[in-house]
Amino acid sequence: MREGDILVSKRTEGFGLTKILRISDFGDSGKIAHVLMYQSQQHRPTLAELTAAQVFVWHSPIDYLGLERDSEVIGNVPVEHDELRGYLEYLKQTNFRAYAEEQGASVEEVITRAKGAYEAGNALCEQKKFADAIEKYTEAITEFPQFIEAHDNRAFALMDLGEFREAVMGFSESLRFEPNNPVALFSLGECHLKLGETGEAVRLFREWVTRWPDKPHHREFLARAEALQGQATEKKKPWWRFW
C-alpha cells in the first residue's frame, strides 16, 4: 500500500471507504497508516463514486498491517493538501518537526513567526489592549501549539477582561503541554476562585503548595479558598441542622 491508495473493507453496517494520506514508521511496532475515512457505504463502492463520498473522519492513525490485511486497494488518487487538515493538526500536536516539514518550513522559521506574534501580544498587553493581545497570542499558538508562555499570557489577558471561564480553558491547555507549570496551576486556582468554584480552587491550591512548598505567599490563597469553601458549606446546610 502507498499514499493515495483508496481502500474498501467489509463492515457490519456495509462497506468502509478509506484513503491513505501518509505512512510513517512507528519504532519497533512497525508502520502506521494515517488515513482519511469516509462515511460507510451501503453497497460496495467503486473508485468512480469517491468524489460523492462524504468525509467521516479527517484523520485516524491505523496499524498498517491490520489495514493491509482487512482492506482491498481499488485505486489510487493523489493526496490533496486540503485532505491533510486532520493529519496536519495531529502532527502539530504530536510531532512539530514533521508538521513544519509538511508545511515546507523549518522548525526555526515557524518558531520565529510564533515568537513575533507573542511579542506583539506582550506589547499590546502593556497598552491594556487585551482583546487585541489575545488575537496575537492566538496567532502564536496557532503557529506553535506548545508555546507555553503564549498560552499563559493569553489566559492572563482573558482574566484582565473578566473572562475567567475562557481563562480556565487556556491554563488547562497550558498544563496539558507542561504539567509542571506552577504559574498555570496557581492561576487556574485563581480563576476557579473568581468563578465561585471554591472546591476546585481549594483542590488546585492544595496541589500547588504540596508540589512547591517553599512559597508561603501562596498558602494565603489556599487559606482564603478554604475559608470561602467553609462559608459556602454553611449556607447549604438544611435549616433543621441548626436546631
Copy the grid coordinates of residue 122: 506582550
78-95 per-position pLDDT tens digit: 999 999 999 988 988 888
196: in domain: yes
pLDDT of residue 239: 44
- Quote the CA–CA distance of 56 and 42 in Å, as a whole number: 15
**Given a cut of 50, is residue 13 above it in pLDDT?**
yes
Quick one: 148 and 216 in the same domain? yes
164-207 per-position pLDDT tens digit: 999 999 999 999 999 999 999 999 999 999 999 999 999 999 99
Q: In the chain, how long is the greatest CA-to-CA distance?
A: 79
Residues facing residue 6 across a β-bridge: 19, 75
Give the residue with greater pLDDT, 13 vs 189.
189
- Quote the CA–CA distance of 93 and 220 in Å, as a whole number: 36
pLDDT of residue 213: 85
Give the range of the structural domain holding residue 9, as residue numbers without chain letter.
5-80
Quick one: 191 and 229 in the same domain? yes
pLDDT of residue 230: 64
Residues facing residue 18 across a β-bridge: 7, 37
Copy the grid coordinates of residue 243: 436546631
Quick one: 184 and 141 in the same domain? yes
The domain tally of the chain equals 2
**Given a cut of 90, is residue 3 above it in pLDDT?**
yes
Quick one: 202 and 117 in the same domain? yes
What is the strand order of the sheet 55-63 is part of? 55-63, 31-38, 14-25, 5-11, 72-76
**For the whole model, what pTM was predicted?**
0.69
Quick one: 39 and 123 in the same domain? no
With cell 481549594, the residue in question is 202
**Given a cut of 80, is residue 9 above it in pLDDT?**
yes
pLDDT of residue 11: 83
Residues facing residue 22 across a β-bridge: 34
Mean pLDDT rounded to a whole number for the chain? 88
95: in domain: no
- Can you state the angle between helices 217-236 and 182-194, rounded to 10 degrees? 30
60: in domain: yes
Asked whether 233 and 199 are in contact (CB, 8 A), the reply is no
DSSP strand E in 26-159: where?
A: 31-38, 55-63, 72-76
Q: Own/partner pairs for 173-179, CB < 8 Å, 24+ apart?
A: 174/148, 177/145, 177/146, 177/148, 177/151, 178/148
Query: What string of DSSP letters covers 106-131?
Result: -HHHHHHHHHHHHHHHHHHHHTT-HH
